A and B are shown apart, each in its own frame.
Chain A
Amino acid sequence: MASKAQDRSIDPASLIMLKQAEKEGIETAWDRYEKQQPQCSFGQLGICCRNCNMGPCRIDPFGEGADKGVCGATADIIVARNLLRMIAAGAAAHSDHARDAVLTFKKMTEGKAGSYNIKDEAKLKALAVEYGIPVEDRNREEIASELARALLEEFGKQEGPIQFTRRAPEARLKLWAKLGIEPRGIDREIVECMHRTHIGVDNDPTHILLHGLRTSLSDGWGGSMIATDVQDVLFGTPTPIKSTVNLGVLAEDKVNLVMHGHEPILSEMILEASEDPNIQKLAKEKGAKGINIVGMCCTGNETLMRHGIPTAGNFLQQELAVITGAVEAMVVDVQCIMPALGALTSCYHTKFISTSPKADFPGTVRMEFHEETAYETAKEIVRTAVENYPNRNPERINIPDEKQECMVGFSAEAILAALGGTPAPLIDAITGGAVKGIGAVVGCNNVKVKHNYGHVNLVKELIKNNVLVVTTGCNAIACAEAGLLVPEAADQAGEGLKSVCEALGIPPVLHMGSCVDISRILVLASAVAKTLGVDISDLPAAGAAPEWMSEKAVSIGTYVVSSGVYTVLGTVPPVLGSEAVTGLLTKGLNGVVKASFAVEPDPFKAADLMIEHIEEKRKALGLEP
């Protein structure tokens, strides 16, 4: 049988592991995707409804069969309801992550989470000021305690406002208010999504989608933003730092512990625990040269950004890391963790350790993580990994050499600091034309796209055309692996962008963090818009999610568009079964929130769409093309 590996990824390290998997008959996501072919057409078009037990109902997309469900719901209604549920799930994932971060923060202020403390006091005070909490002549514990309560209230608020929405430009706030889509409370909007999509509640596609916009805003300017900022207070606001990425960061002669998932609450403790002298000693006794902690997915992005901890890869590399045969422990919390890891790790010596009270998987060793006992549990986790080192089968170890240097840690604060404290130099570069605009490229991996192909090619096209790229999530890791996150990558940028990058010593692609950190992009966009005295939708900026797959990405795309940024999706969302919804998303929204979606699977054409949009916005601002 011909090797399929070549068609599955553009990343050399991943190709080595894919070939290894093929040789050993190990199943990966790509094989399972093949077995799912052809995928259900009703599902792809979004025209099946399982919301009540008179169904399941389906609409015939070719008009010969049923054109309504039992309750009378048309394709438009069914597609809109399904989309709203996707937004709700995505917003819930981000916001529940935020809740855990705030609860940890609160427990810390109450002295119940002794392993945590305040790492960024300046940010603590800045956030307190935003909330109108007095900071003068008060100790930081008092301020933190009051801030924790205020942040926690955002989840249960009934009538808003969510404080961080006030970071948006005045014009945007007015627009949201006029449309009635200002979020009233994080949990309320998500609950209302589930209510509205229950049988016989909201059945007007536009009305349904407007609530989708509101819910997504409760994520972007609520849950996600709170997660980012509280994590900065607890673990430090990222500043530029160098590190390495890709599967080659796994060590041949050290205990490899991979931290996979999303919440730094766990990973920060594991990092600390791994430095414990007793555990270090134990590692030596077990024959290892040390303990190698690496990240994966967005947990990886969190520790990469704050500590320069190497990252082994993005979403589609989670199985490949195990296939190296060199992972002693795959430690997971929540989100984007494949249940397939259970069966896969059972083929190796790897311990699959689940830690979140709300997430377990087949074949795990359960080590539930609670703030009160965070450090002790983290130590147990690291010890389990160390004790597993002698169980390695040296004959099965195959770690690719590929690893790539990267410069990361560009929080909005760090970018502004690099620019001298104000966005003015960036604005000058944009108005002067050296930088055409800003491209925000984010999102997951998806087996429907050759791994990293969409990400890397889209970003390369943008920088070639003098568009400065900001990135988070799996795109950030893809760019890092492709060598785009080093200052030298400026050579691949157009002349204008190249000169700006060289002057500032920065890469043409700025790593801004994990997927909740897309909130940092909102903050940056807002700062630029405010300085220019315009709305975000007036900026020469565009977004893209070339390989998106998760419901979180649906919420993200929606809040980015609702914030005024035109966004190109690389995989088709399940909405094409409704002309009305498709039309609204790709055109109609322009008349509502002054931005819309586009779908373009070809990354080169997607880049063209973004550049075209940026040029239009430049023209509208009276800037040279």
Chain B
Amino acid sequence: MKEVMIRPERCMGCRSCEIACAVEHSESKDLFSAIGESPVPCKRIYVEYIPDLAVAIPITCRHCEDAPCTTVCPTKALSRDEVSRRVIHSPELCIGCWTCSMVCNYGVIGRQKEARVAMKCDLCPDREIPACVEACPTRALVYAEVKDFSGIKRSQAALKLAKGMQTGSIP
């Protein structure tokens, strides 16, 4: 399955991903209408700022293969979709106990205020590419299979090594 992969060195902290996420999860899916909607549309991706390093990094659900949230959910509101392999949330089953939030390694299970249920990334089931990825102006977010993403990283690493061989020094 394709995942939202993060290239943290590219994030400029503009929060475009957050807004695009909230708009995609609004009633109208239109920015200008979404800002007036009730319930207020909520984001599922979070740009976290680390003051000591002066960097911002987007954090979103990893759709873990062995997802602790699905293991602990007492009502099976959180489960793995066997076809798409995504970790999905069924609000109608959710009792709002927040056990999932306690065990999530990334803190990306939020709370839908009005319905008082859990809320998390669904990888935008109505879209080919998740809204956050499309909105990122610096391509800090990419939607790719892990094998492809890693493949690119490997070839970049190989290129660095090769250049080092040519100049006689490995950077």
| Known contacts A38-B20, A38-B134, A40-B14; A64/B43 CB under 8 A | yes
Residue of B16, B18, B31, B135 near A45 (CB, 8 A) is B31
Nearest A residue to B134 by beta-carbon distance?
Answer: A38
Query: Are B20 and A576 in contact, with the CB atoms below 8 A?
Result: no
| Known contacts A41-B20, A41-B31; A58/B15 CB under 8 A | yes
Query: Are B135 and A38 in contact, with the CB atoms below 8 A?
Result: yes
List residues 33-51 of chain A with CB under 8 A from any CB of chain B.
Answer: 38, 40-42, 44-45
Query: Are A64 and B15 in contact, with the CB atoms below 8 A?
Result: no
Tell me if B42 is interfacial: C-beta within 8 Å of chain A. Answer: yes
Question: Which of chain B's residues have a CB closer than 8 A to the CB of A21?
Answer: none
CA distance A45 to B32 in the complex (A): 8
Nearest B residue to A61 by beta-carbon distance?
Answer: B35
| Known contacts A45-B35, A572-B32; A38/B16 CB under 8 A | yes
User: What's the least CB distance linking B107 to chain A, in Å?
Assistant: 15
List residues 60-77 of chain A with CB under 8 A from any CB of chain B.
Answer: 60-65
| Known contacts A62-B35, A576-B32, A577-B35; A41/B16 CB under 8 A | yes
User: What's the least CB distance linking A53 to chain B, in Å?
Assistant: 16
Question: Which of chain B's residues have a CB closer than 8 A to the CB of A576?
Answer: 32, 35
CA distance A60 to B40 in the complex (A): 12
CA distance A40 to B136 in the complex (A): 9
- Chain A, residues 509-531, CB within 8 Å of chain B (1/0): the string is 00000000000000000000000
User: What's the least CB distance linking A600 to chain B, in Å?
Assistant: 12
Nearest B residue to A577 by beta-carbon distance?
Answer: B35
List residues 296-330 of chain A with CB under 8 A from any CB of chain B.
Answer: none
- For A, the interface residue count at a CB cutoff of 8 angstroms equals 17
Question: Which of chain A's residues have a CB closer than 8 A to the CB of B94?
Answer: none
Question: Which of chain B's residues have a CB closer than 8 A to the CB of A45?
Answer: 31-32, 35
Nearest B residue to A44 by beta-carbon distance?
Answer: B31
User: What's the least CB distance linking B98 to chain A, in Å?
Assistant: 18
Tell me if B23 is interfacial: C-beta within 8 Å of chain A. Answer: yes
User: What's the least CB distance linking A31 to chain B, in Å?
Assistant: 17
Query: Are A40 and B16 in contact, with the CB atoms below 8 A?
Result: yes
Question: Which of chain A's residues have a CB closer than 8 A to the CB of B22?
Answer: 62
CA distance A601 to B21 in the complex (A): 25
CA distance A65 to B137 in the complex (A): 20
Tell me if B130 is interfacial: C-beta within 8 Å of chain A. Answer: no
Tell me if B19 is interfacial: C-beta within 8 Å of chain A. Answer: yes
CA distance A168 to B132 in the complex (A): 52
Question: Which of chain B's residues have a CB closer than 8 A to the CB of A572?
Answer: 32
Tell me if B41 is interfacial: C-beta within 8 Å of chain A. Answer: yes
| Known contacts A40-B137, A41-B19; A62/B32 CB under 8 A | no
Question: Which of chain B's residues have a CB closer than 8 A to the CB of A63?
Answer: 40
User: What's the least CB distance linking A151 to chain B, in Å?
Assistant: 42
User: What's the least CB distance linking A74 to chain B, in Å?
Assistant: 14
Question: Which of chain A's residues have a CB closer than 8 A to the CB of B42?
Answer: 62, 64
Nearest A residue to B22 by beta-carbon distance?
Answer: A62
User: What's the least CB distance linking B54 to chain A, in Å?
Assistant: 15
Residue of A40, A44, A62, A577 near B43 (CB, 8 A) is A62
- Chain A, residues 563-599, CB within 8 Å of chain B (1/0): the string is 0000000001000110100000000000000000000
- Chain B, residues 1-41, CB within 8 Å of chain A (1/0): the string is 00000000000001110111011000000011011100011
Nearest A residue to B14 by beta-carbon distance?
Answer: A40
Question: Which of chain A's residues have a CB closer than 8 A to the CB of B23?
Answer: 41
Question: Which of chain B's residues have a CB closer than 8 A to the CB of A64?
Answer: 42-43
CA distance A272 to B120 in the complex (A): 69
User: What's the least CB distance linking A174 to chain B, in Å?
Assistant: 37
Question: Which of chain B's residues have a CB closer than 8 A to the CB of A41?
Answer: 16, 19-20, 23, 31, 135
Nearest A residue to B131 by beta-carbon distance?
Answer: A38
Question: Which of chain B's residues have a CB closer than 8 A to the CB of A577?
Answer: 35
Question: Which of chain B's residues have a CB closer than 8 A to the CB of A40?
Answer: 14, 16, 137
User: What's the least CB distance linking A503 to chain B, in Å?
Assistant: 45
CA distance A64 to B45 in the complex (A): 12
Question: Which of chain A's residues have a CB closer than 8 A to the CB of B43?
Answer: 62, 64
CA distance A24 to B103 in the complex (A): 56
User: What's the least CB distance linking B65 to chain A, in Å?
Assistant: 30
Query: Are A61 and B19 in contact, with the CB atoms below 8 A?
Result: yes
CA distance A44 to B15 in the complex (A): 14
Question: Which of chain A's residues have a CB closer than 8 A to the CB of B137?
Answer: 40
Query: Are B41 and A62 in contact, with the CB atoms below 8 A?
Result: yes
CA distance A341 to B36 in the complex (A): 40
Nearest A residue to B110 by beta-carbon distance?
Answer: A64
User: What's the least CB distance linking A63 to chain B, in Å?
Assistant: 6
CA distance A577 to B32 in the complex (A): 8
Nearest A residue to B32 by beta-carbon distance?
Answer: A576
Query: Are A42 and B40 in contact, with the CB atoms below 8 A?
Result: no
CA distance A40 to B18 in the complex (A): 11
User: What's the least CB distance linking B142 to chain A, in Å?
Assistant: 16
- Chain B, residues 156-170, CB within 8 Å of chain A (1/0): the string is 000000000000000
Among B18, B20, B22, B31, chain A packs the most CB atoms within 10 A around the CB of B31
User: What's the least CB distance linking B134 to chain A, in Å?
Assistant: 6
User: What's the least CB distance linking A99 to chain B, in Å?
Assistant: 37
CA distance A572 to B19 in the complex (A): 18
Query: Are B19 and A42 in contact, with the CB atoms below 8 A?
Result: yes
CA distance A320 to B31 in the complex (A): 32
13 new A-B contacts, CB < 8 A, other than A42-B14, A45-B35, A61-B35, are A38-B135, A41-B20, A42-B19, A44-B31, A45-B32, A62-B40, A62-B41, A62-B43, A63-B40, A64-B43, A65-B18, A576-B32, A579-B36
Please name 12 pairs of A and B residues whose Cβ atoms are closer than 8 Å in the assembled complex, sorted by A.
A38-B135, A40-B16, A41-B16, A62-B22, A62-B34, A62-B40, A62-B41, A62-B42, A62-B43, A64-B42, A572-B32, A579-B36
Q: Interface residues, chain A, CB within 8 Å of chain B?
A: 38, 40-42, 44-45, 58, 60-65, 572, 576-577, 579
Q: Which 4 A-B pairs have the closest CB atoms?
A: A41-B19, A61-B35, A62-B22, A38-B135
